[in-house]
Amino acid sequence: MEILKERILRDGVNLGNGILKVDSFINHQVDPTLMLAVGGALAARFAHLHPNKVFTAEISGIAPAFTTALALGVPVLYARKTKPITMHPNAIVQQAPSHTKGRITEIIVSPEFLGPRDRVLIVDDFLATGQTIDALARLVADAGARLVGIGAVIEKTFEGGRAALARWGVPIEALAVITNMDNGKIVFAE
């Protein structure tokens, strides 16, 4: 997706250690026009799998998951990081390490909204180590739902996430694939 790559090169910041700051247009301040294009592109790649729900983790995954769900005409569901008092008492919980926060976080979903009738497409802002997406996939499995695909706005191949997620046996797509961030550079796959 050329418009996304151009935006990453123009406004993304390589902070070193494999961390790409895209806060100005993806995951703190969101460019709605870009995000609509992202959602349309992800929906086009997964529509043939007929997902009936798009699933992500709060908070950075919500914008791309929302626009993907909008393009597919299905609900978006996000795993929460804290359990509100209104959540079902039998909430499903998994843990995932956060690369940017440097700690383990819990992600929680209510069985009211994820269950055996669901065909789930996971969408997140980044595919790096794959650990957050793997935790989402485990929530899908724990709920008895069927995972049909995994989509990411940006993939950093050098962190091995795609290989870690291969065990789920579903298509994995990313709109911008970064192969190298050494020496302050941002290099995309051809």
Q: What is the CA radius of gyration of the chain?
A: 16
Confidence (pTM): 0.96
Task: Please state the rounded mean pLDDT for residues 134-161.
Answer: 98
Query: Taking each helix axis from N to C terminus, what angle separates 32-46 and 62-72, rounded to the nearest 10 degrees?
Result: 60
Prior bond to 107 cis, omega within 30?
no
The 3-state DSSP class for residue 39 equals helix
Q: Residue 177 belongs to what domain range?
A: 2-188
Residue pair 141/118 in contact by the 8 Å Cβ criterion: no
> Which residues lie below 8 Å from residue 138, measured CB to CB, with a gap of 6+?
94
DSSP labels, 42-73: HHHHHGGG--SEEEEETTTTHHHHHHHHHHHT
Residue pair 132/111 in contact by the 8 Å Cβ criterion: no
pLDDT per residue as tens digits for the range 53-101: 999 999 999 999 999 999 999 999 999 988 888 888 899 999 988 766 6
* Adjacent-strand bridge partners of 88: none
DSSP state of 143: T
Query: What residue type is assigned to position 128 of the chain?
Result: A
Indicate which CATH number applies to the domain containing 102: 3.40.50.2020
> Measured between alpha carbons, how far apart are the two ends of the chain, in Å?
11
Instruction: Look up tokens 């359990």; give the residue.
Output: 83
Task: Please state the rounded mean pLDDT for residues 175-189.
Answer: 97
Query: What is the model's pLDDT at position 88?
Result: 85
**Total domain count, the chain:** 1
Task: Please state the rounded mean pLDDT for residues 22-48.
Answer: 97
